[in-house]
């Protein structure tokens, strides 16, 4: 036995842990600030976000709302062990509460995450401003002003110019063509830019009462003459030959996003005064129909997309990865067996298309040059990327863009946890106060301190010198636990709540019980005739199995409880398991070696000091007899 080595290892553990606490994981501020754990909603309050299901006729079913709640909760938990509260209020509202200032983390939780892969079949520049003001400006001879695309969680422009397209790591890949420039982009959408023989612009019959109401409001706002003219359009209006051709459709610029969303795809695409700003303002779910063509915006142009031949359900797993060759974050996609077959066929269709096909003409119009057709990667109503397909993709693919490590993980989590079956609109986010308050927290901690103080007093009274070992061991366990929860809170998002504090206190009680096992076994060894010094290793050998078994049972219970529970109960289980593991570390690296050192002291042989009192006196009486 070399107790000095074990104590040295424990000291090294402390040094490493607190170096991590003070200098790793994004530590900042003063040393006092770096020692602050991340506290939960019930202790310090936090942020509350409301998501309201979009009403389209009948309200969502209870089953759909519960599925949406579970998906949102999974996305919240993917942010870390945060013990967020995700509850359903009424029949159409989900409220998410998260500790601290978490508005940025909550803003994208309700996104539907409907992934669609669609062939790009038509494009026309967003010329809504020119249609309302046909007089050209001297400096605007080459291109129309692009419309800003909405944020998708990756950055302001997730499909960046020149970023690589889905690739298969050696099996061929896509490549994004150059972005349109003033010299390459046409001055106005030529007839060929529409790329496909558009279907008649009639409006399909709305499915719900709300959609019928929106459609009637849109038709009234536009006027019967403009509406009839729009229904007759079979291709985008060509303003290059007649700048005033857009004037009859100027009232379409007054339509709101929801009103534009109920128009047919052909009308959205062909009417020049329907711009990207309106298309981007359509409600979530507006272009989710996988069996029809849809219209979206990409790089300042309106684009028409074919029906979705590959969808999010075809994705087996999405994961964020750092592309070493490009030094950028990507989202890697593994498809299911059937999904991979669909994806391969879609890329083959894009790769083998001839120059006369609509998809080829569309790419040439959008980028100024074309090698092959393009496949758009569409998340909800936003095009993440629309690369030309440079080969038939038969393996793992990637979504590329201006991702960071955080945003790539967010997108991968959304795809992995599934698409929310209900369309939500984000309500206001607000700050909420602590549910218990500082006074209740202080009262609880005071009660815990009094209880632990009574345990310490009893240990000193009953075990005396051995009680010092109990006190020091519990103190070391507390320091290790505190350092661990500070570091985990900073790196993994672990949030300390009252339930977690309860878990730590219960674990300290379990740790105190292990002392009783050891010390009572020590007394038994001395009672059987062994000397105190020889009884220490013998008692340790016999008590060790019991201590390990008891702690392992506690750890297994904590693991099971963590897996099957949620919220505060999960936080309690995590705290109990973590502190029990750290207590085992203290048992092996401090308790046993310190007892070995104490066994060599005179105080340990004193019945009054050691706490072995009656056992040592009985042994002395037996010797004298």
Average pLDDT over residues 139-168: 32
Which pLDDT band, with edges at 50, 70 and 90, does 82 fall under? low
Average pLDDT over residues 531-535: 76
* Lookup result for tokens 């220490």: 536
Burial degree of 395 (CB within 10 A; 0-12, 13-18, 19+): middle
At residue 435, does pLDDT exceed 70?
Answer: no
Average pLDDT over residues 307-320: 87
The confidence score (pLDDT) of residue 555 equals: 92
Supply φ then ψ for residue 13, to 5 degrees.
-60, -45
341 contact partners, CB below 8 Å, separation of at least 6: none
425 contact partners, CB below 8 Å, separation of at least 6: 51, 52, 53, 54, 283, 284
CATH of domain 3-38+436-624: 1.20.1640.10
Contact 327, 298 (CB under 8 A): no
- Lowest-pLDDT range of 140-149, 349-358, 382-391, 517-526: 140-149
Neighbours of 533 (CB within 10 A): 14
In Å, what is the CA distance from 215 to each residue of 36, 263, 324, 340, 609?
55, 7, 50, 39, 90
The confidence score (pLDDT) of residue 119 equals: 92
Supply φ then ψ for residue 406, to 5 degrees.
-70, -50
* Lookup result for tokens 């300390």: 496
Tokens of 309: 């031949």
Radius of gyration of the chain measured on its C-alpha atoms: 34
Which pLDDT band, with edges at 50, 70 and 90, does 606 fall under? low
519 contact partners, CB below 8 Å, separation of at least 6: 463, 466, 611
* Yes or no: domain 46-109+428-432 corresponds to CATH 3.30.70.3400: yes
- Tell me the residue ranges of DSSP E strands in 163-249: 164-167, 173-175
Beta strand 424-432 pairing with 46-53: antiparallel
The torsion angle over the Cα atoms of residues 60, 61, 65 and 67, rounded to 10 degrees, is: -130
C-alpha 408/C-alpha 322 separation (Å) is 9
Question: pLDDT tens across 447-456, in order?
Answer: 778 877 887 7
Q: In which region does residue 223 sit, left (phi positive, over 0), alpha (psi from -120 to 50) or beta (all else)? A: left
Instruction: Read off the DSSP letter of residue 58.
Output: B
C-alpha 619/C-alpha 610 separation (Å) is 14
C-alpha 612/C-alpha 463 separation (Å) is 7
Question: pLDDT tens across 15-58, in order?
Answer: 998 898 888 867 777 778 788 887 777 777 777 788 888 655 56
Return the top range by mean pLDDT from 82-91, 101-110, 196-205, 609-618. Answer: 82-91
The confidence score (pLDDT) of residue 563 equals: 85
| H-assigned helices in 199-332 | 209-222, 224-231, 257-261, 265-270, 276-280
- Residue 411: which H helix or E strand, with range? helix 405-417
Question: pLDDT tens across 469-508, in order?
Answer: 888 888 888 888 888 888 888 887 777 777 888 888 788 7
Quick one: which of 11, 41, 34, 84 has its CA closest to 482?
34
Q: Please tell me whether residue 124 adopts helix, strand or coil conformation.
A: strand
The confidence score (pLDDT) of residue 199 equals: 40
The confidence score (pLDDT) of residue 202 equals: 44
C-alpha 407/C-alpha 120 separation (Å) is 26
C-alpha 183/C-alpha 605 separation (Å) is 95
Beta strand 294-298 pairing with 301-311: antiparallel
Helix crossing, 62-77 with 405-417: angle to 10°?
Answer: 150
Buried b vs exposed e over 407-419: b needs ≥16 C-beta within 10 Å? bbbbbbbbbbbbb
418 contact partners, CB below 8 Å, separation of at least 6: 71, 113, 312
Contact 257, 280 (CB under 8 A): yes
Tokens of 142: 């080459």
Tokens of 121: 């079949």
Average pLDDT over residues 520-548: 81
Tokens of 263: 């128009």
The confidence score (pLDDT) of residue 185 equals: 31
Neighbours of 114 (CB within 10 A): 24
At residue 187, does pLDDT exceed 50?
Answer: no
At residue 133, does pLDDT exceed 60?
Answer: no
Quick one: which of 515, 496, 512 has its CA closest to 578?
496
* Lookup result for tokens 């979206």: 296
Q: In which region does residue 113 sit, left (phi positive, over 0), alpha (psi from -120 to 50) or beta (all else)? A: left
- pTM more than 0.75: no
Q: Which CATH class is domain 115-419?
A: alpha beta
Average pLDDT over residues 568-576: 84
Average pLDDT over residues 521-534: 78
The confidence score (pLDDT) of residue 612 equals: 63
Contact 481, 504 (CB under 8 A): yes
Contact 473, 586 (CB under 8 A): yes
At residue 149, does pLDDT exceed 50?
Answer: no
pLDDT averaged over every residue in the chain: 75
Contact 539, 518 (CB under 8 A): yes
In the structure, how many helices (H) and strands (E) does the chain have? 23, 15
Residue ranges of the domains in the chain?
Answer: 3-38+436-624, 46-109+428-432, 115-419
């Amino acid at each position: 036995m070399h107790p000095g080595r074990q104590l040295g290892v424990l000291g090294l553990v402390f040094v490493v842990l607190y170096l991590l606490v003070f200098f790793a994981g994004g530590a900042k501020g003063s040393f006092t600030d770096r020692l602050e754990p991340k506290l939960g909603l019930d202790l310090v309050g936090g942020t509350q976000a409301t998501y309201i299901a979009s009403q389209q006729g009948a309200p969502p079913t209870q089953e759909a709302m519960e599925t949406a709640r579970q998906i949102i909760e999974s996305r919240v938990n993917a942010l870390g062990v945060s013990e967020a509260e995700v509850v359903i209020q009424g029949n159409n509202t989900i409220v998410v509460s998260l500790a601290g200032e978490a508005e940025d983390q909550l803003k994208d939780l309700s996104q539907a995450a409907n992934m669609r892969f669609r062939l790009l079949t038509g494009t026309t520049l967003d010329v809504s401003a020119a249609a309302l003001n046909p007089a050209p400006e001297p400096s605007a001879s080459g291109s129309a002003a692009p419309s800003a695309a909405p944020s998708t969680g990756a950055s302001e422009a997730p499909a960046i110019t020149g970023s690589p397209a889905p690739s298969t790591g050696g099996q061929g890949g896509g490549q994004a063509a150059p972005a349109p420039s003033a010299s390459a982009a046409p001055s106005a959408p030529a007839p060929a830019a529409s790329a496909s023989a558009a279907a008649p612009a009639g409006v399909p019959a709305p499915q719900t009462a709300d959609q019928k109401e929106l459609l009637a409001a849109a038709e009234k706002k536009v006027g019967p003459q403009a509406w009839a003219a729009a229904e007759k359009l079979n291709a985008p209006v060509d303003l290059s030959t007649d700048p005033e051709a857009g004037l009859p459709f100027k009232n379409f610029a007054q339509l709101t996003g929801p009103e534009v969303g109920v128009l047919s795809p052909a009308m959205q695409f062909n009417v020049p005064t329907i711009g990207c700003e309106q298309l981007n303002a359509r409600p979530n779910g507006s272009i989710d129909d996988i069996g029809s063509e849809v219209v979206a915006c990409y790089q300042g142009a309106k684009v028409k997309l074919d029906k979705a031949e590959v969808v999010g359900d075809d994705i087996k797993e999405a994961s964020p990865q750092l592309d070493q060759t490009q030094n950028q974050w990507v989202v890697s996609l593994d498809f299911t067996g059937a999904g991979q077959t669909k994806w391969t066929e879609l890329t083959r269709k894009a790769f083998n298309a001839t120059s006369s096909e609509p998809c080829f003409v569309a790419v040439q119009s959008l980028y100024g040059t074309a090698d092959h057709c393009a496949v758009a990667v569409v998340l909800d109503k936003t095009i993440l990327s629309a690369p030309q397909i440079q080969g038939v993709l038969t393996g793992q693919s990637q979504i590329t863009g201006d991702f960071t490590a955080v945003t790539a993980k967010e997108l991968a989590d959304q795809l992995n946890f599934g698409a929310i079956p209900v369309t939500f609109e984000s309500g206001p986010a607000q700050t909420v106060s602590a549910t218990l308050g500082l006074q209740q927290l202080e009262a609880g901690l005071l009660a815990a301190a009094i209880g632990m103080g009574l345990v310490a007093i009893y240990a000193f009274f009953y075990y005396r010198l051995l009680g010092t070992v109990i006190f020091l061991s519990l103190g070391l366990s507390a320091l290790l636990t505190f350092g661990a929860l500070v570091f985990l809170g900073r790196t993994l998002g672990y949030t300390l709540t009252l339930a977690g504090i309860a878990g730590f206190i219960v674990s300290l009680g379990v740790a105190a019980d292990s002392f009783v096992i050891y010390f009572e076994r020590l007394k038994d060894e001395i009672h059987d005739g062994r000397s105190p010094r020889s009884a220490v290793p013998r008692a340790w050998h016999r008590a060790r199995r019991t201590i390990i078994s008891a702690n392992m049972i506690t750890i297994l219970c904590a693991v099971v409880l963590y897996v099957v529970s949620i919220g505060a109960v999960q936080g309690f289980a995590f705290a109990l398991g973590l502190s029990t593991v750290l207590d085992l570390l203290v048992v092996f690296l401090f308790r046993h070696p310190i007892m070995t050192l104490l066994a060599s002291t005179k105080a340990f042989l004193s019945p009054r000091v050691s706490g072995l009192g009656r056992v040592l006196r009985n042994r002395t009486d037996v010797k004298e007899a």
